[in-house]
């Protein structure tokens, strides 16, 4: 598991002790985050945070989704979440998602955290591509994608379910060169069979 730091922002895998801080951040951000992400709702409770962290730990252990918490590198304040999920092993790409608590929005937190995890995805997971998928109206997430250097590739009709209804989504593509990742990405080559 990895801890990634850039100036004032630290991202690391979530641990059980983060549940209360995560719960507080979600509860304080219902109006802004919940507008776009269905899991952030008025009924969100401490058990939801605990369950999510347990799922994240299992996924890390099985080398599937890699979700991180975002923290203030100096104070340790829980700022949000960022992660790589929905891996497509056949075509070697995944989604890159993020959210930031309302009190720290518009401060570059999401862009910095997404850049750190994007680099991790290309350098450590050796992915060829990351996609950022956001409801068309979700301009805060779309601005982060653009600041990150991801390219807008189109609108996918009824691509995401939000509040139980399908919604159109803006699709952004990110490849290693967009983040100046210099090595050639891709899955590690399989060893040649013995003769």
47-83 residue pLDDT tens: 889 988 998 999 888 878 899 999 999 999 999 999 9
Number of domains in the chain: 1
pLDDT of residue 194: 39
- Tens of pLDDT, residue by residue over 158-194, are 998 888 889 999 999 999 999 876 544 455 433 333 3
- For residue 192, is it within any domain? no
Q: Give residue-wise pLDDT tens across range 114-137.
A: 999 999 999 989 999 999 999 999
| Residue 66 lies in domain | 4-179
Is 38 a member of any domain? Answer: yes
Residue 190 lies in a domain: no
Strand partners of residue 154 = 171
Closest to 125 measured CA to CA, from 85, 152, 165: 85
Q: Report if residue 195 sits inside a domain.
A: no
* Domain assignment of residue 175, yes or no: yes
The overall pTM is greater than 0.75: yes
Cβ neighbors of 73 (< 8 A, separation 6 or more) are 5, 7, 8, 9, 10
pLDDT band for 27, please (50, 70, 90 cuts): confident
In a domain, 185, yes or no: no
Q: Return the closest-CA partner of residue 86 out of 98, 96, 94, 78.
A: 94
Give the residue from 126, 59, 25, 106 showing the smallest Cα distance to 68: 59
CATH of the domain at 27: 3.40.630.30
Structure tokens at 121: 């995805």
């Amino acid at each position: 598991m990895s801890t990634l730091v850039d100036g004032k922002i630290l991202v690391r895998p979530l641990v059980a002790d983060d549940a209360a801080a995560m719960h507080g951040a979600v509860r304080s951000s219902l109006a802004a985050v919940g507008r776009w992400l269905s899991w952030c709702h008025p009924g969100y409770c401490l058990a939801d945070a605990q369950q999510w962290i347990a799922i994240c730990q299992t996924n890390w252990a099985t080398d599937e989704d890699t979700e991180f918490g975002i923290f203030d590198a100096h104070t340790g304040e829980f700022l949000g979440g960022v992660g790589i999920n929905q891996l497509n092993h056949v075509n070697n790409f995944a989604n890159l998602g993020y959210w930031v608590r309302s009190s720290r929005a518009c401060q570059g937190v999401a862009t910095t955290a997404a850049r750190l995890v994007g680099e991790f995805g290309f350098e450590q997971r050796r992915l060829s591509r990351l996609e950022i998928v956001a409801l068309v109206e979700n301009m805060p997430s779309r601005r982060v994608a653009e600041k990150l250097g991801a390219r807008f590739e189109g609108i996918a009709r009824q691509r995401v379910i939000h509040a139980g209804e399908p919604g159109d989504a803006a699709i952004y593509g990110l490849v290693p060169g967009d983040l100046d990742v210099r090595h050639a990405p891709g899955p590690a080559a399989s060893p040649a069979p013995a003769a």
